[in-house]
Amino acid sequence: MLINTDSITISYTALNPGTAQTKIHFYSDTPDLVSLYQPGKSNGQRRCFVTDGTVATLDCMKDFISCFDDGKCGNDILLILGSGEPYKTTESVLSIVQTAIDAGFSRKDLFVGIGGGVICDMTGFAASIFKRGAPCQFVPTTLLAMVDASIGGKTGCDFQNYKNMIGTFWPAQELHMFTKFVNSLSEEQYRSALGEVLKTALLFDKELFDFMKNNSVLINKRDPESVFYIIKKCVKAKSAVVEEDLTEKNIRMYLNLGHTFGHALETIAGLGAIPHGDAVAWGIGRAIQLCYNEEFCTSAYKDDVLKTLDFYGWETRPVHPIVKGGGIGERLLSAMHKDKKNESSKVKLTLQKGLMENFTAEIDDSKILAVLK
């Protein structure tokens, strides 16, 4: 029997968010999706389970996957997609929709994404556009999805090499967080996710920032108590933000700290060439350097952030070595101008005056280029 160690509820007031609440459940057990969902016993509501080839091969998933014969188990269906950012496409989203149509799903049936941020984003997007909106749930299997991607209803896919250019706001009804999935991650995936943890700490939680500064050895070793602590802290922080500002009109914009730089890096490097969280961590360094250059923050704060980035092995140099060729700064700037958050001819950035002192501003190109050389 699964032990639900804790729960958090997010309530939404925004117009038609797809669900009135998101219930987030934490489990200390080994992931057991057979007990959680009981495939084939759906009590009238059919389920379309969506995962990827990597997650499907995990030992803890074998019993669940084996329930499905040729993708079917009673009225439930299973779709296994390709793994990673290269598969975060409109074609993948439409394959989810097509699978549900072929199975005769109604808008009352349920879409369940089991995977990292890519699977959660695409499954939520497919649910939001299927017959003008069907419910969804997520089982995040990566630390990145647990601390950030699965929370708050942002769905979507990449388009023409630009990150998350198509999507909707469509929160999941429930999130089931089995923290032991973290043990299955590669070092690269794990470190990447910590970039989003650091972002959350800088924006909203001094205790979490201090914990990351003072416990990098434990965190890097995936100490179970430390992992659970950072997941719970990030979930609480992001839950509070999206409850107040689901559709990113105000404080949710702060969650883009490091992302405008980071998304541009992912774009010019080729989507999937660098882990998302690593790109965000590099972007945080660039944003904080810009803050110092413009006298928004002190030298001490800049050095504190850059030193913490170093603790986790993230790149802090202005030119990331993953990008080759000339005119790197100009290429990054061009990609930043295409960011969906911009509202004018200038690039809009989330910046800081200090820890938890957040603001957004439109920045001149010359000032951005100064931190990319």
3-state secondary structure 312-330: CCCCCCCCCCCCCCCCHHH
pLDDT recorded at residue 23: 97
List the one residue out of 162, 141, 305 whose CA is nearest residue 231: 141
Helix (H, G, I), strand (E, B) or coil at 142: coil
The C-alpha torsion from 231 through 212 and 218 to 5, rounded to 10°, is -20
The percent of residues in the chain predicted with pLDDT above 90, rounded, is 90
Residue 138 backbone zone (phi > 0: left; psi -120 to 50: alpha; other: beta): beta
- 215 falls in which pLDDT band (50, 70, 90)? very high
DSSP summary character for residue 103 = T
Q: Which H or E run includes 294?
A: none
Once rounded to an integer, what is the mean pLDDT over residues 355-364? 97
Burial class (CB in 10 A: 0-12, 13-18, 19+), 279: buried
Rounded CA separation 331/72 (Å): 46
Residues 6+ apart with CB under 8 A from 300: none
pTM: 0.91
The percent of residues in the chain predicted with pLDDT above 70, rounded, is 99
Q: What is the pLDDT of residues 261-298, one digit of tens each?
A: 999 999 999 988 999 999 999 999 999 999 999 999 99
Q: Which H or E run includes 163?
A: strand 162-166
pLDDT recorded at residue 1: 59
Residues 6+ apart with CB under 8 A from 303: none
Q: Which H or E run includes 353?
A: strand 347-354
Q: What is the pLDDT of residues 169-186, one digit of tens each?
A: 999 999 999 999 999 999
* β partners of residue 85: none
Q: Which of these ranges, 5-9, 92-96, 168-172, has the smallest mean pLDDT?
A: 5-9
- 108 falls in which pLDDT band (50, 70, 90)? very high
Is pLDDT above 90 for 161? no
Once rounded to an integer, what is the mean pLDDT over residues 79-108? 97
Mean pLDDT for the chain overall? 95
- 342 falls in which pLDDT band (50, 70, 90)? confident
pLDDT recorded at residue 216: 94
Residues 6+ apart with CB under 8 A from 14: 169, 246, 247
- Pairing, β 110-115 against β 136-140: parallel
Query: What is the dihedral sign for C-alpha 165, 320, 188, 201?
Result: negative
Rounded CA separation 269/354 (Å): 30
- 200 falls in which pLDDT band (50, 70, 90)? very high
Once rounded to an integer, what is the mean pLDDT over residues 326-342? 92
Q: Which of these ranges, 10-19, 95-104, 319-328, has the smallest mean pLDDT?
A: 10-19
Q: What is the pLDDT of residues 15-69, one digit of tens each?
A: 678 899 999 999 989 999 999 999 999 788 999 999 999 999 999 999 999 999 9
Rounded CA separation 211/205 (Å): 10
pLDDT recorded at residue 18: 86
